[in-house]
Amino acid sequence: MLKINLNSPEPIYEQLVQEIKRMIEHDVLKEGDSLPTIRSLASQLDVANNTVARAYQELESEGLIESSGRRGTIVTGRVTNNDGEESKIFKTAILKLLQKGFNRDEIEKIFETNISLFFD
């Protein structure tokens, strides 16, 4: 169940985004799970439809959910923790390149060249 605090200084849509991310991160919501419709969730939480729509839009732009008309809104991704092991691997590599004198543009070019080996 989604929980929001109507008295919090944090905007409601941001609370919804964080709550849904938390639910995905803790496997309460899994890839393929359906989310309530905008209208239904807005009614349950007693908030405006636009508030829920904005939260869903942000989550969709982050690749965590997908809205597709009649099929509804489903979970499509998982939350990645930027402080996790995966992030440390990138940070270590970037630091080594910086120490060798590479600038941001050069590092980005190296990354793009190497990632395209796996995804293009």
Delineate the domains of the chain, giving CATH numbers in brackets.
Answer: 12-75 (1.10.10.10), 85-119 (no CATH)
Instruction: Find all residues with CB under 8 Å of 5, minimum gap 6, and list them.
Output: 15
Question: pLDDT tens for residues 62-117?
Answer: 889 998 877 789 999 876 655 566 777 888 889 899 999 999 999 999 999 988 88
Contact 38, 52 (CB under 8 A): yes
Mean pLDDT across the chain: 88
pLDDT at 1: 76
Q: Mean pLDDT, to the nearest integer, of 13-37?
A: 93
Category of 27 on φ-ψ map: left (φ > 0), alpha (ψ -120 to 50) or beta: left
**How much of the chain exceeds pLDDT 90, in percent?**
63
Q: Mean pLDDT, to the nearest integer, of 40-66?
A: 94
